[in-house]
Homo-oligomer: A and B are copies of this chain.
Amino acid sequence: MGEFELIRNFFAAAPCAQGGEGVALGIGDDCALLDVPFGEQLAISTDTLVAGVHFADPCDPFLLGQRSLAVAASDLAAMGATPVAFTLALTLPTFDAEWLQTYARGLNLMAQTCGLRLIGGDTTRGPLCLTLTVFGRVPTGHALTRSGARPGDLLCVGGELGNAAGALPLVLGQRTAASMIGEPLLAHYWSPQPQLALGQALRGKATSALDISDGLLADCGHIAAASKVGLAIELDRVPVSLALEEFLGEAGAQQAALSGGDDYVLAFTLPEVEVPTLLADGWPIHVIGRVVEGQGVTLLDDEGLDITPAVHGYQHFRA
């Protein structure tokens, strides 16, 4: 069986893999072809997951399938894009039909949840590694970027933070937890829900946005740098789950929420006047701070004192 058949057979259940809205040509030719409606732009993001670095090896291929696509789709959410399609570059040490089938089931489930169609990719032999490239549509000029935050805007996040970081010791088998605590944390880690609908709802409202993947402080630093502003975060307003507080204690939960990675929750800035409508519409947004003149991210305690830690976030390489 060649790599063409391999991809086709195991991923054939993907929603509309052979064509669908915006997909003019799917898997099987030298290129896929996308239609982009007049007045819209194509948003593109690429994410790589490496075994032993981004996920434990071995791990459950179904969960990996879900997670690998969710992580990539979250970048579309951060731009306010409507999901269209994705490609999958899969490097595998051996041909393992059961592994592929199970991975494809997880991937297809997340593809369906997100409204993403598999349109192509590559299958190669080598150390386990996955690169997914996702495509979305966004009205021209209305994508949410990192660079538009203005002093006076509020800083918000789209949900509780730190759950995935809290789950890490469970994923790695370093700790155990009662299922009431462990299950919701593990669900956040293995099956993050890209906030695609929230991203689209923020078009024309948010002045900047991104998805938190490297930790709140580090990622807010990207907004501050791109927008040439400062961000002041009030520690007490950073939302954490009860499960996380149970598991790590209050200080540990705060630490996970500030610097743990893998949240895939949106962080965004917007004028104060937009907040009541979004809350009234039921969006799960939490105001955690404010955009200020200056630069960088400042963390404040409940008395307004600066308690910014020295180093935040996870980086793959340090020079």
Contact = CB atoms under 8 A, between A and B. Distances in A.
A175 interface: no
Contact of A53 (B51, B126, B226): B126
A44 B319 contact: no
B34 A44 contact: yes
A240 to B, nearest CB: 24
B48 A89 contact: yes
Interface stretch (A109-117, A136-144, A155-163): A136-144
Nearest to A77: B30
Contacts of A133: 44, 46, 87, 89, 133
Given A31-B79, A38-B38, A124-B54, A46 B89 contact: yes
Interface in A9-61: 24-25, 28-36, 38, 41-54
Interface hub of A28, A41, A81, A95 (most chain B Cβ within 10 A): A41
B120 A30 contact: no
Contact of A31 (B50, B81, B315): B81
Contact of A43 (B31, B79, B146): B31
Given A6-B319, A50-B124, A124-B53, A32 B24 contact: no
A131 interface: yes
Given A78-B31, A87-B46, A127 B125 contact: no
Contact of A126 (B119, B127, B313): B127
Contacts of A79: 29-31, 33
A121 interface: yes
A64 to B, nearest CB: 15
Contacts of A87: 44, 46, 133
A50 B317 contact: no
B76 A125 contact: no
Contact of A226 (B28, B33, B147, B318): B28
A199 to B, nearest CB: 10
Given A91-B129, A131-B48, A30 B146 contact: yes
Given A35-B41, A146-B30, A47 B122 contact: yes
A49 B125 CA distance: 9
Interface string A163-180: 000000000000000000
A263 interface: no
B43 A33 contact: yes
Interface string A227-263: 0000000000000000000000000000000000000
Contacts of A136: 31
A126 B143 CA distance: 32
Interface string A69-103: 00000011011010000011101100101000000
14 contacts: A1-B317, A4-B222, A6-B317, A30-B45, A33-B41, A33-B138, A35-B140, A45-B120, A46-B89, A46-B131, A47-B89, A52-B126, A122-B131, A125-B317
Q: Give the 8 A-B residue pairs with the shortest CB-CB distance, closest first.
A: A50-B126, A1-B319, A30-B78, A31-B43, A95-B317, A36-B36, A131-B131, A127-B127
